[in-house]
Amino acid sequence: MTEDEKLHEEAEELRRETADGAPELAEHDRIAELEAQLEEANNKALYAAAETQNVRRRLEQEKDQASAYAATQFARDMLAIKDHLERALVAVTDELRSDKTASQFLAGIEATARELESVFAKNGITRIKSIGEPLDPHRHQAMMEIPSDAEPGTIVEEMQPGYMLKDRLLRPALVGVAKKPD
């Protein structure tokens, strides 16, 4: 056998091996492709499950907040009643308090005010502390500046109390803020 014949036979043998190996190679490529598709489908399924869980969690939070703050408008309306009761009690003179009939009437108004305060506390409605506090624009609304010896920016007068419903502002306190005297 000559050198050329040997090379030709080796090339033929290599061609046969490649031809025989081609179905095996094609099958290997097909398996790799199917594995890639399976991994992609698994990733999509995991993403969809995570997205579903996020939506469920977000809806649960929204439901909790909706139930916790459902009475917000009702609470604001009740604040007006509380304001009227407080103004009525402040306007009562000592002379009226000493009158027996008027004092019984006043006792009823005071009991109503206390009960309203108790209901507010039970439902998470709290009064915002204002006098002597620094102005907080998230809880107070400055209505005027008042010359005072107090530190500028300190609240020295409250025109209307503010209230919180749990951790949300229900109504800002209307306040007067100290400024340096002229």
How do the domains of the chain map onto residue ranges?
1-68, 71-123, 125-182
Q: pTM (2 decimals)? A: 0.63
Spatial CA neighbour of 172 closest among 159, 158, 161 = 161
Q: Give the pLDDT band (50/70/90) at residue 22.
A: low
**CATH code for the structural domain at 125-182:** 2.30.22.10
Q: Give the pLDDT band (50/70/90) at residue 83.
A: very high
What is the DSSP code (8-state) at residue 162?
Answer: -
pLDDT at 157: 95
For residue 19, is pLDDT > 60? no
Task: State how far the Cα of 69 lies from the Cα of 168, in Å rounded to an integer.
Answer: 9
Q: Give the pLDDT band (50/70/90) at residue 160.
A: very high
What ranges in 69-134 are assigned the alpha helix state H?
72-91, 94-98, 100-122
pLDDT at 130: 95
Which residues are within 8 A (CB) of 126 and not within 5 positions of it... i.e. 6 or more apart? 120, 163, 164
The answer to which of 91-95, 117-121, 158-162, 173-177 has the lowest mean pLDDT is: 91-95
